[in-house]
Structure 1
Amino acid sequence: MVLRAGALATVLLAAGAWFAPMPYLVEKPGPAIDVLGPDVIAVTGADVSTSTGRLLLTTVEVVDVDGVGGAARAWFDDRAALVPREAVFPAGQSDEQAQRANEALFAESESTAITVALTSLGQPAGVRVSIGLRDIGGPSAGLMIMLGIVDKLTPADLTGGRVIAGTGALRADGTVGPIGGIPQKLHGARAAGAEYFLVPEGNCAEAARNPVPGLTLARVATADDALLALKTITAGGTPTAC
């Protein structure tokens, strides 16, 4: 009888652990958003061109782990990653505080993208740009927003009819910084039809370790590198690889 009770307790403890909350989160591919789509980039004070292709801003979706079972599923899914909760929500910071901090980083990345784009075009007088994206946090959208602005304000179609995705934290001097969630963003990009992915130079090693069939990786260290990669792709060439 004691043995049976002990065995039952062990089973119940195991079942509890299977469904109990865990100090981890799962990162998985989020939506890929076409920055050339309607209501994303609004320009006033200048004529705007249209493109036949798409420039995809890639995201990562973060969800709670559904117990040990959910952790196991994430562990064996090459599209997902199991990360410590504190890597997303720092200790001592509430979820709401972390969300506000990420929103502030995104707002800063928008402003930087506008500044870098207009600078690269010679600061056209009277041009105003606003971004209509919502529910996105962090700094990694800067590169693709910048490219979207330049594409709209350039008569030539920078996409050449291609579907090109990417990511990168754009700095005021035009350099492109590394970001998190590269494997998930690669999968999200390919699922959305991307043929090319602009990878920050600092993420190239990780991206090369996690190749996605049908997706060509292009290494970019600066905004100029990204523009050159687009020019190379539209001309039918091969961009600098990771």
Structure 2
Amino acid sequence: MPRRTATLLASTLMLIALLCGGVLIPVPYAAMSPGPTVNTLGDHDGKPVLQITGRTTYPTSGHLNMTTVQVTGPDYRMNLFEAVYGWLDPNRAVVPHKTLYPEGQTAQQADQQNAEEFTQSQESAKVAALKQLNIPVATQTVVGAVVKDKPADGLLHAGDVIKAVDGKAVTQTGDVAKFVTRHKPGEKVVFTVIPAKDAAAAKQQGKRPEGPGKDVTLTTAADSGRAVVGIQAQADHIFPFHIDVKLADVGGPSAGLMFALGIVDKLSPGGNLTGGKFVAGTGTIDDQGNVGPIGGISMKTIGAREKGAEFFLTPKENCASAAKDTPSGLRLVKVGTIGDAVKALEKIRANDTAGLPSCSPAGRA
């Protein structure tokens, strides 16, 4: 065989081997790309995203779009070619797999975590929105979860309202651990609770559950030398009217800010917040209205601009990253609280945008 032919054949075989290796060899990365955006003021799949009953709502216009990121699943194993393609594509981001999915987390666990975070973000969005509007929200402490084979297992249940421990009124969630840990392991502690069924019925009517409750006596166990009963106490809110978020196939906490703003807009009699403008955004939110950072900010700004957004409400912790490569025609607006966001929307509505707080790349003022 001529040397030239042999060299060509060897090169071809090597290329084929490399191609096969690129397809077959998995790499420890995951991909993100822009996901759907949904107007919290509008409809999704034929139903209003925000449904408010028992309270007067007001007309709105424009957009307050929540944004999402599409990610490869926890069980998906990217090959080398896909990773290289993602690194070269400005509309995709390739990140270490463990950034999105902690080591050892199953697909089911990831889905469960996302669903729980989404549910919690809705609750916090409602609380933050009503506080912004000075509408009172009652709070009570409930059993959030019971640890299997611990003293409370079978005696306390998720949803039980904790009125007192050892006769001392529980006024905030931290009281439960404080009162229990005053005991030594092996000592008895008395919980006064309203059963979950009765509490749920009262909450459905926007009321606190009434009655003295029932006493449940538990024998504490030891955990790292402390007395425990094996429950997780959490805050539960009682709203004066019903607010439902109708949005399936979305997970995680990052829509909290936009849900809250949508609720504020629908309940505000003084005119719509956006003035008809297309505003998108992202950010977690807590009960006090503080806006927190999220992942995949660059994918969210791309998705928002593709849908027509002119302004993007950006958590202040994400500002530097978002400003590195802002899509043309999209203005980033820095926010740290729901109050910041409402003030920014008021300026946008009034076309007074010169003083809007903006995002700058790291190292720039």
Shorter-chain TM-score: which interval? over 0.9
Q: Could you say which structure has the larger radius of gyration? A: 2
Within 5 A, what are the aligned runs for 1:150-165? 150-155=264-269, 156-165=271-280
- 2:17 pairs with 1:13: yes
Once the 2 structures are TM-superposed, how far is the Cα of residue 159 of structure 1 from its aligned partner? 1.1
1:146-182 per-residue CA deviation (whole Å, 9 max, x = no partner) reads: 0000011112111100000000010122111111111
Q: Show the counterpart of 2:66.
A: 57
Query: Which of the pair is proportionally richer in strand?
Result: 2
- 2:285 pairs with 1:170: yes
One of 47, 58, 77 as aligned partner of 2:56? 47
One of 13, 27, 52 as aligned partner of 2:32? 27
SS in structure 1 at match of 2:30: strand
With structure 1 as the length reference, what TM-score do the two structures score?
A: 0.93
Asked if structure 2 preserves the Cα contact closer than 8 Å seen for 1:26 and 1:65, the reply is no
SS in structure 2 at match of 1:198: strand
Asked if structure 1 preserves the Cα contact closer than 8 Å seen for 2:279 and 2:311, the reply is yes
Unaligned runs of 5+ in 1: none
- 2:260 pairs with 1:146: yes
Q: Show the counterpart of 1:102.
A: 114
SS in structure 2 at match of 1:31: strand
SS in structure 2 at match of 1:151: helix
- 2:130 pairs with 1:130: no
Q: Show the counterpart of 2:203.
A: none
Once the 2 structures are TM-superposed, how far is the Cα of residue 65 of structure 1 from its aligned partner? 6.6
Give the aligned residue type for 2:328.
P
Give the aligned residue type for 1:110.
Q
With structure 2 as the length reference, what TM-score do the two structures score?
A: 0.63
Distance in 1 between residues matched to 2:351 and 2:97, nearest whole Å: 43
Q: Show the counterpart of 1:77.
A: 89
SS in structure 1 at match of 2:129: helix
Query: Which of the pair is proportionally richer in helix?
Result: 1
- 2:132 pairs with 1:89: no
Asked if structure 2 preserves the Cα contact closer than 8 Å seen for 1:65 and 1:71, the reply is no
Distance in 1 between residues matched to 2:77 and 2:323, nearest whole Å: 27
Asked if structure 1 preserves the Cα contact closer than 8 Å seen for 2:49 and 2:245, the reply is yes
Output the aligned Cα RMSD.
2.0
Greater CA drift, 53-62 or 89-98: 89-98
1:73-101 per-residue CA deviation (whole Å, 9 max, x = no partner) reads: 21111221001111112111101111111
Asked if structure 1 preserves the Cα contact closer than 8 Å seen for 2:30 and 2:78, the reply is no
Asked if structure 2 preserves the Cα contact closer than 8 Å seen for 1:45 and 1:128, the reply is yes
- Runs (4+) off by over 3 Å: 2-13
